A and B are shown apart, each in its own frame.
Chain A
Amino acid sequence: MSDVPSGLKYTKDHEWAKADGGSVAIGVTSFAVEQLGDITLINFDAKVGDEVVAGKAFGTIESVKTLSDIFAPVSGKIVKLNAELETKPELVNEDCYGKGWMVVIATTGGEGDLMDAKAYSEFLKTAAH
């Protein structure tokens, strides 16, 4: 069963968002990690200072067999990027809610469609495998 920590928000693309003042930290959920398998490459197409738009992809995450886009759950400017993931993509497999964080975004409002933990857990029950 996928781990869905309460206190985080979630998207239907299996990202999590953690609010901290005006900033939001982003990563992918353990459901996404289970689907991907051993992650071998994470590519950010944006860098610190770039704008991202809620619902638009800003990078890709690749495993042996699969490639997935990483979508921005909120709009804003990237203020921090987890550079460790370039050499250690396995951190996402090991700790997707902690060490596997991907970016921190200073939000400008647009929230996209965020679910709370309960709604996301419900959503997972119906998610196609």
Chain B
Amino acid sequence: MTTQETLRRTPLYDCHVRAGARIVPFAGWEMPVQYEGIVPEHRAVRTAAGLFDVCHMGELELRGEYSGQVVNYLITGDASKLVDGQALYTCACNERGTVLDDLIVYRCDANRWLIVCNASNLAKMSAVFAKGAEGHCEFEDRSDRTALIAIQGPKAMQILASAGGEAAKLPELGSFHFRDAIVANVRCTVARTGYTGEDGAEIFCALGDVEALWTHLMMLGGPLGLVPAGLGARDTLRLEARLSLYGNEIDETTNPLEAGLGWIVKLEKGDFVGRAALREVQAKGLSRKMVGFEVTGRGIARHGYPLLDLEGKPVGVCTSGSPGPTVGKNIGLGYLPASMSALGTRFQVDCRGKAIEAVVVKTPFYKRAI
């Protein structure tokens, strides 16, 4: 609880207030949950573009001859396959094979690596990477010096390019690739990554520059439909795209295999923290699996609601759920016994005492057209 704790503000706080944002506490920060409204912001991202303040997230840097090996040992994915300017979505596990955080790892070059982690896990992950680096390479927590914003939507890259100069070539960036570029007179690192299921970029710059960058992008993009978008829309967008949220789908009680993240686990890449435990999980088989579902009855599934079989017996839990503004259905993610995880399996959601029918469906719930 953050009743007496001082909440932090990003450099964009005043921009948000001026834009009419509703500010809420999140992971120790005062963040905009919405401006015009979750649904209009969500729709704007799917049809034009949205601008997100994600300055609260953590940025950790490892440098030196062995930095790549240190990073590779701490994550489940294979960073050794990356080229300079390429990034990877992955997670870090503990020795039990459960998830410490999901991350994006960026290979700046062979001797310089950037890790972006969740705001809620910064202290934890900073300690994990600092310890891993000890005696092998340099470690620096750059979170307090680094600003991060995201521009997401079908028009996002066009808007970025309209800044001209070096920015004009940014649409050439491949997916999950990044480069330095001057955007609106600001030195940035631009990565073609995102958390919404749309095209777009995440842009790093110095704290002192981010307000000017934000304002300039809003000016360029406004006529094309760019709006500021808050954490509320960020959540509905990522849910439709079946992206995990740490604390919901994944935490230190879940392993990435049951969370449907087997694709970011490369057991054969060499040793890493949690590998032995994950090998055991794989050998034994999964007892429960993350599924995507649609609520077919009248109700909205939410985080924490029990999932029941058709006889009403509790068999699982909803990890995330809400109306999906683009798909037009009430959707959710949750854990069910492996035996109930096949597409089309009917079950029920305990919505505050009422059993509402639901069905397992294919994910992602939404996929963008190219």
Asked if A64 and B323 make an inter-chain contact with CB atoms under 8 angstroms apart, the answer reads: yes
The answer to whether A41 has its CB under 8 Å from any CB of chain B is yes
- Whether A65 and B300, one on each chain, are in contact in the complex, defined by CB atoms closer than 8 angstroms, is no
**Residues on the B chain within 8 Å of A63, using CB:** 38
A14 to B302, CA, bound (A): 24
Q: B132 near A: Cβ within 8 Å?
A: no
**Complex interface: chain A residues within 8 A of B330 (CB):** 40-41
Q: Is A40's CB under 8 angstroms from B34's CB?
A: no
Minimum CB–CB distance from B95 to chain A (whole Å) comes to 36
Q: Which residues of B contact A41 (CB under 8 A)?
A: 298-300, 323, 330
CB distance from A90 to the nearest CB of B (A): 10
B37 touches A65 (CB 8 A): no
B39 touching A37 by the CB < 8 A rule? yes
**Distance between Cα atoms of A65 and B235 in the complex (Å):** 9
Q: A116 on the interface (CB 8 Å rule)?
A: no
User: For residue B34, which residues in chain A have a CB less than 8 angstroms away from its CB?
Assistant: 37
B148 at the interface (CB under 8 A from A): no
- Could you tell me if A37 and B38 are in contact, using CB atoms closer than 8 angstroms? yes
Question: CB of A51 within 8 A of chain B?
Answer: no
| Interface members, chain B 259-302 (any A CB < 8 Å) | 298-300, 302
Taking the closest CB of chain A, its distance from the CB of B314, in whole angstroms, is 20
Collect the chain A residues with CB atoms within 8 Å of residue B143's CB. none
Q: Are A64 and B325 in contact (CB under 8 A)?
A: yes
Contacts of B302 in A (CB 8 A): 67
Q: Indicate which residue in A43, A64, A67, A86 contacts B38 across the interface (CB closer than 8 Å).
A: A64
B236 touches A64 (CB 8 A): yes
Contact B298 A65 (CB under 8 A): no
A129 nearest in chain B by CB position: B22
Minimum Cβ distance to chain A for residue B358 (Å) = 14
Interface string of A41-67 (1 = CB under 8 A from B): 101000000000000000010111101
* Interchain CB contact under 8 A, B323 and A40: yes
Question: Within residues 26 to 45 of chain B, which ones have a CB less than 8 A from any CB in chain A?
Answer: 33-34, 37-39
A101 smallest CB distance to B (angstroms) = 20
Q: Least Cβ distance of A34 to chain B in Å? A: 9
Greatest chain B CB density within 10 A among A38, A60, A64 is at A64
Instruction: Check if A40 sits within 8 Å of B300, measured CB to CB.
Output: yes
State the CA gap A123–B325 with chains docked (Å): 33
Whether A38 pairs with B298 at a CB distance below 8 angstroms is: no
Assembly CA distance A43 to B235 (angstroms): 24
Closest chain-A Cβ to B142's Cβ sits at a distance in Å of 32
Given contacts A37-B37, A38-B39, contact A64 B232 (CB under 8 A): yes
Q: Is B322 an interface residue (CB 8 A)?
A: yes
On B, residues with C-beta under 8 Å from A are 22, 33-34, 37-39, 232, 235-236, 298-300, 302, 322-323, 325, 330, 352
Residues of chain A at the chain B interface (Cβ within 8 Å): 37-38, 40-41, 43, 60, 62-65, 67, 86, 129
26 A/B residue pairs, CB under 8 Å, sorted by A: A37-B34, A37-B38, A37-B39, A37-B232, A38-B39, A40-B323, A41-B299, A41-B300, A41-B323, A41-B330, A43-B298, A43-B299, A62-B300, A64-B39, A64-B232, A64-B236, A64-B322, A64-B323, A64-B325, A65-B33, A65-B232, A65-B235, A65-B322, A67-B300, A67-B302, A86-B298
